[in-house]
């Protein structure tokens, strides 16, 4: 029940009307008996500063940040956590000890989901990341700090891949290289991660790489969550590979944000169920 004591949490993005976070977050807050409500706000870049000042004035506990504000939000905060600084983007803002601090839970959320669903030993994985954008940076940072020995960044624009590989090479335990033609590297990889939007609804028949490059024994991971099982994952499964879909990352990055805000256990299974039901409703 919403009362005069109910606190605020939310999402800033543009657009924001497509977000499924309110359904997932409010279901979790209700089960946790937490006195907060989670709302989505469509905020254009021109009024981002005013929106942030408004949330601060209204004493929000914190909020999530999505496209196109993940970088520009930083100038309106008191500080940025190491993960967000290294990734170069903020997706969660937390009020603590009188300060507003930006965090990034994307990489953490990805790793938590990957480990839960695959139980793989990251210290022995040869990884190919398809794409070199913000999602690739978050996943690459998480894998490098977890001790993955080799990461190959495959991107059509080699300069962009080079910059990300150079950044990831700062962690001495990880060899990071950049390429544009990744056929041989994909065939040799233990883990292939698609961080691009290829295969996302409604272009569900597209794949970022040919199915013939995949094989039994690999783990193929796709950050796209709509559809849950992309054309890439369907092809990988037919080849005998283990698959990992993007829905888990979406749930765990949200769960990590809730943990930062409330410092208490989060009902992750409920969040998964609500998100799955919400996405299924989209297709009806």
Cβ burial, residue 161 (10 Å; 0-12/13-18/19+): buried
Q: Are 130 and 208 contacting, i.e. CB atoms less than 8 angstroms apart?
A: yes
135 marked ligand binding residue: yes
CA dist 60 and 93 (Å) reads: 10
124 marked ligand binding residue: no
Alpha-carbon distances of 32 from 3, 19, 162, 265, rounded to whole Å: 16, 21, 44, 8
82 marked ligand binding residue: yes
Task: Name every residue whose Cβ is closer than 8 Å to that of residue 240 and which is 6 or more positions away in sequence.
Answer: 215, 216, 217
Q: Give CA angle at 173 (167, 175), nearest 5°.
A: 55
Pairing of strands 175-179, 219-222: unpaired
19 marked ligand binding residue: yes
CA dist 249 and 51 (Å) reads: 27
23 marked ligand binding residue: no
158 marked ligand binding residue: yes
3 state SS of 271: helix
132 marked ligand binding residue: yes
134 marked ligand binding residue: yes
Region of 33 on the Ramachandran plot (φ > 0 left; ψ -120 to 50 alpha; else beta): left
119 marked ligand binding residue: no
Task: Give the residues across from 7 on adjacent strands.
Answer: 36
225 marked ligand binding residue: yes
66 marked ligand binding residue: yes
112 marked ligand binding residue: no
91 marked ligand binding residue: yes
Could you give the residue numbers annotated as active site?
70
CA dist 278 and 227 (Å) reads: 12
106 marked ligand binding residue: yes
Q: Residues comprising the binding site for shikimate?
A: 19-21, 66, 91, 106, 225, 253
Q: Which residues are annotated as a binding site?
A: 19-21, 66, 82, 91, 106, 131-135, 155-160, 223, 225, 246, 253
Binding residue ranges for NADP(+): 82, 131-135, 155-160, 223, 246
């Amino acid at each position: 029940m919403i009362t005069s004591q109910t606190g605020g949490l939310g999402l800033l993005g543009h657009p924001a009307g497509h977000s499924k976070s309110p359904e997932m977050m409010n279901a979790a807050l209700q089960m946790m008996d937490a006195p907060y409500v989670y709302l989505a706000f469509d905020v254009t870049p021109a009024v981002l500063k005013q929106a942030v000042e408004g949330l601060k004035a209204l004493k929000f506990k914190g909020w999530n940040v999505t496209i196109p504000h993940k970088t520009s939000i930083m100038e309106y905060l008191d500080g940025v956590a190491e993960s967000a600084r290294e990734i170069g983007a903020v997706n969660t803002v937390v009020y603590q000890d009188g300060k507003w601090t930006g965090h990034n839970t994307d990489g953490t959320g990805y790793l938590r989901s990957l480990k839960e669903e695959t139980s793989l030993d990251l210290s022995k994985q040869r990884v190919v990341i398809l794409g070199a954008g913000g999602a690739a940076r978050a996943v690459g940072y998480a894998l490098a700090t977890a001790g993955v020995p080799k990461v190959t960044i495959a991107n059509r624009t080699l300069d962009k891949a080079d910059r990300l590989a150079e950044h990831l090479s700062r962690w001495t335990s990880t060899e990071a290289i950049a390429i544009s033609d990744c056929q041989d590297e994909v065939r040799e990889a233990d883990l292939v991660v698609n961080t691009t939007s290829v295969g996302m609804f409604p272009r569900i028949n597209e794949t970022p790489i040919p199915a013939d490059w995949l094989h039994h024994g690999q783990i193929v991971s796709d950050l796209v969550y709509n559809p849950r099982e992309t054309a890439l994952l369907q092809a990988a499964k037919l080849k005998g590979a283990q698959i990992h879909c993007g829905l888990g990352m979406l749930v765990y990055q949200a769960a990590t944000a809730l943990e930062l805000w409330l410092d208490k256990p989060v009902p992750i299974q409920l969040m998964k169920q609500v998100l799955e039901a919400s996405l299924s409703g989209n297709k009806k």
